[in-house]
Structure 1
Amino acid sequence: MTVKNGRRWSTANAYLRPAMKRPNLTVVTHALVHKVLLEGKTAAGIRYERKGNVQEVRAKREVILCAGSVGSPHLLQLSGIGSKAVLEEAGIDLQHELPGVGENLQDHLEFYFQFKCKQPITLNGKLNWFSKGLIGARWLLDRKGLGATNHFESCGFIRSKAGVEWPDLQYHFLPAAMRYDGRSAFDGHGFQVHIGHNKPKSRGWIRAKSASPSDNPEIQFNYLEHEADREGFRDCVRLTREIINQPAFDPFRGDEIQPGNGVVTDAEIDAFVRSAVESAYHPSCSCRMGSDDLAVVDPETRVRGIARLRVVDSSIFPTIPNGNLNSPTIMVAEKAADIIRGKGALSPSDAVVGMDENWLERQRSGSPERVAM
């Protein structure tokens, strides 16, 4: 969590709002960017629409796209930068062929593993209007209490199997059994873990459907296309059951709500995952960094083949990070800001990273009596 004074401390709160008093910053809201203006192979500005008026802004130095892993590749395509075949299909004139634009799309998936709770101690007991009123009142008065947290205060990572160098399964624990969006909850006390396979091998794409910026692009994630991803979610189910069935949970663990005790075989798990899995809202990698023909930006975040144009957001990750994207995206922006300003790199960290010396041969460390994932 990133929380300050009982509020989520977003990048808008932490970075943008404190800078809005600066005379060299103008923030235009409720605007729809049409395209990057090109003069040959050089970015010259942008065209945007606000309240029905189309305007152009000329760049003195550079244009930097930070529209996210859907918006940035779409804007490049609208500007004529991308795959020749994709642009021809959308009716967009090709200005610069860069076939990797919109490709390599990745995301994290997760599902809820839910259990009944034997003790009346979960948030399911706080969903009546009276309790919610008290929670809201306390938050309004002093920004504290249950309204000042997202409740995902316990999390962890484990390896799915031997030979996986870095833990590739991620857990978030929630002291309640309910939908992620809060629209429905288990009738009684329960708890759940959100679990997902963090290093998917499936790849998708984002492609403009027309030259109009008002037409949403076509998005295809190709979730679970790769057998390794389906195998990863089978591991999610089986390892989670092993963890929750440890003696420490005995005073709390009731019957399994979801997936349910009848979901055991590979086919049953695959069917459950297909029906229950949801996006973790981590789209990324659709303008990936690199030096090969399918790379979109170079190691300096510059769009390959176009001068004075950069992309700085989660779309430039070559592969999806092994965790939530908020912090890595901020780190990319901080690093890009240093590059753009010509600041040197920080000294390399000498922090010690723990590693099980036998990770190639075993999935976990420790003795059978005291297991550490």
Structure 2
Amino acid sequence: MDVSDQTSPDGADAVPLSVRAAASWSWRLLLIAAAVAGFLWLLAALKTIVVPVAIALLVTILLAPARRTLERWHLRRGLATAVSIVGLIVLVGALVTLAGRSIVAGFQDLADQAVAGFQQFTTWLAEGPLSLDAEQLSRYGQQLQESVVASSGLVSGALGAATTVGHVLVGALIALFCTIFFLLDGRTIWTWLVNLLPVRAREPVHQAGRRGLVTLSAYVRTQILVAFVDAVGIGVGSAFFVPALALPIGILVFIGSFVPIIGAIVTGAIATAVVLVANGWVAALIMLGIVLLVQQAESHILQPFLMGHAVSLHPVAVVLVVAAGSLAAGIVGALFAVPLAAVLNTILLYLHGHDKFPELGTEDHLPLLRRRPQLPGTLLWSGRGASQDAAQDGTQATTAGDTGAAPGSPATEAGDR
């Protein structure tokens, strides 16, 4: 028999199996990478909408326990939602006002100390090894000022600032609007989204989403506790050196701690710099020691026991995820990188048969859409927790009563989808 008869017409047998497997994997990976890049590009293009919605989701998880508590006190859900949101706004406003007053009260002293420190520095430049006279220092300062003004572009900077303020206001309104409806009717919104999927995929996605929400809830609550510990430790430490600015420093540390690793480093450096300006090198070194002590206690005690259990991510994974998020989307990417990675980790594990929360069970079925017989073609919500009774060939689905999550179940405690 001719050897050419044993080969396929296209010559595929001439290519080693390893090369064909590598080629198959390569084009699939390239396709996945292209899809991910397109998705990230779309998120960046819609960041004015995406970021407020993500913030609204985090705030909803934070306020859900308060809303449920108010409902137990026999308040209607709408009123409980309004009280929870207004209470959060009042609390944040009070903290900002208190911090602002502290900054105003201590700013003049800090400014005087900064001026005195700068004068000492210029004196050292004039009398030290460099021997720069006052005229040279003035000329160098003038050149630096002119270069900064020329490179900054004041007109474009003002226009950019106005645009940023407009985006912030629009984002705040979107976040507030979404938070209201997430708290008021989050389960209905989730039901509508999942029912857009094919019938076979709805229940697995619903169960995976429940577990992702539990992970996100654990992350938010744990991060608040960790941020509070950091803020109290560094704020109390700074109170020994700059009492007037201790509260603003504590609030700054609390906010910065929501960006893992990077936020703690930046806010700790700011606290040390403030003490350096106010009290000199010795006090700054002591403050640096306090910052390192608090952060080490958080990293080696709180993070392993609390955050590790909440997100189930190795510290190396956290560092890489934060770095990737900051490179892709700046401070916003660093803020949302870890919770997004934790939720995706939980969802993917569940879809591949590794349930991190087996105690949740599957008794909380996805509410489906039902049709009213007298109005053919009209879709109505089936109510809280209606279960699937029949679904044939992905075209029909009916409901059989109300079998939603019982009060106090893990799904309900996770945020009442």
> With CA pairs under 8 Å and 6+ residues apart, which has the higher RCO, 1 or 2?
1
Q: TM-score, normalised by structure 1?
A: 0.22
Q: Work out which of the two has the higher radius of gyration on C-alpha atoms and give 1 or 2.
A: 2
Q: TM-score, normalised by structure 2?
A: 0.20
Structure with the bigger percentage of helix: 2
